Amino acid sequence: MMTLNETHNPALQSWVASANSAGTDFPVQNLPFAVFRRQASAEAFRGGVAIGDQIVDLAAVAQSGVLTGEAAAAAQAGAQDKLNALMALNTSAWSALRLALSRALREGSADQAALQACLVPQAEAEYDVPARIGDYTDFYTSLHHATNIGKQFRPDNPLLPNYKWVPIGYHGRASSIGVSGQQFRRPVGQTMPPGATEPSFGPCKRLDIELELGIFVGSGNALGEAVDISQAEDHVFGICLLNDWSARDIQGWEYQPLGPFLAKNFATTVSPWVVTLEALAPYRVAFTRPEGDPQPLAYLDSEANRSCGAFDIQLQVGLQTPKMREAGQADANICRTSYRHAYWTVAQMLTHHTVNGCNLQPGDLLGSGTLSGPTLDQAGALIELTTGGKNPIALPNGEQRTWLEDGDSIVLRGWCEKAGAARIGFGECVGTVLPARVPKG
């Protein structure tokens, strides 16, 4: 488990003035990673680190000679077109780079002039998916989400008997994961309308969102060698925002007996910025289970996981309709919750994923599953917020939404904030629905 060190000092200020602004996502205590280049340029994508409204270009830093030793080697790894090489290193290397950049970006640093030349304004940047994602596994870690969904289909027995014992997950599609700003066409597929005797084919009518966090795997494990829960977080590089778009009507027809397929594989959107576990250290909280619930089996349990294995990450969903966009209106908040309500931790997910000998690799992505809180206004999916489509959401401009319509944009935001610690933000994760393209035939 990462402990507090000098990089977390809330009194630290940066010579990058925007990093000291109240409410910024990217103070000097954060320093998250992304892959970027200047907009509309022929530049190669390369790794960067956020500081205020600027990006520290790791390729430029690697060439500058400002960093030495382990930090310099880590910067060189992060200067590539994807972060996989950096992710493949270890916690020592990640911490060394974070510490060196923290010191170089602080007020009074002797390296200010050298690093000033390595800055690129975020307003001039475009981003790519942070890693070359070999595999994507989506979990189901919110008890509240599982219960809300279960009530709609099994009112007398909403939770399946294995839920409180095993972290449920399924393997998703890595090729359709896109970075914030992703635009995707409404999916098409088979659905079974109520009362029909045979399925119909066409555009999805019940397009939904799923408010999630994405966990990027760092150093991997060999095939056949499980990762003990005491070492699990050493294999986690960091966390991003994730929207796992879902076609609920397609899902309802196809998911039995093997689970999600076309209802989930058409698009998944991640935020460009990956926040390291070290940056999140001030926001660790105890992992607890409701009284009377079974405690995790021994391989999913440790003293450290119980004492500080959860994170208090605030999460918010915004919805912007085409009419709102045309009127210059910002997205409207439709959900606010916290990751602290999750039923399984990051360490438990990774440990369970490898307990059968499955080999994870640097850049693999784990989705947390929809992160709903204990009340319906904290639900992270429209299927919950509208009770299966029965109660439309009222938006501030008078519009309503039951399911997403063409042109709608969803904006996920995440941040950590409390007295005595610096605010740590994740930026935004934005995706927009385009009209379906129905195959001829």
Q: What is the pLDDT of residues 94-145, one digit of tens each?
A: 999 999 999 999 999 999 999 999 999 999 999 999 999 999 999 998 898 9
Whether the Cβ atoms of residue 351 and residue 228 lie closer than 8 Å to each other:
yes
pLDDT in tens, 57-97: 999 999 999 999 999 999 999 999 999 999 999 999 999 99
Active-site position among 144, 145, 235, 353: 145
Q: Which of 225, 1, 3, 219 is nearest to 93 (CA)?
A: 219
- Is there a contact between 47 and 86 (Cβ–Cβ < 8 Å)? yes
Q: Which domains does the chain have, with CATH numbers?
A: 6-128 (2.30.30.230), 136-434 (3.90.850.10)
- The model scores a pTM over 0.95: yes
Spatial contact of 21 and 51, defined as CB atoms under 8 Å apart = no
Non-local CB neighbours of 63 within 8 Å, separated by 6+ positions: none
The reply to whether 235 belongs to the active site is no
Percent of the chain with pLDDT over 90: 91
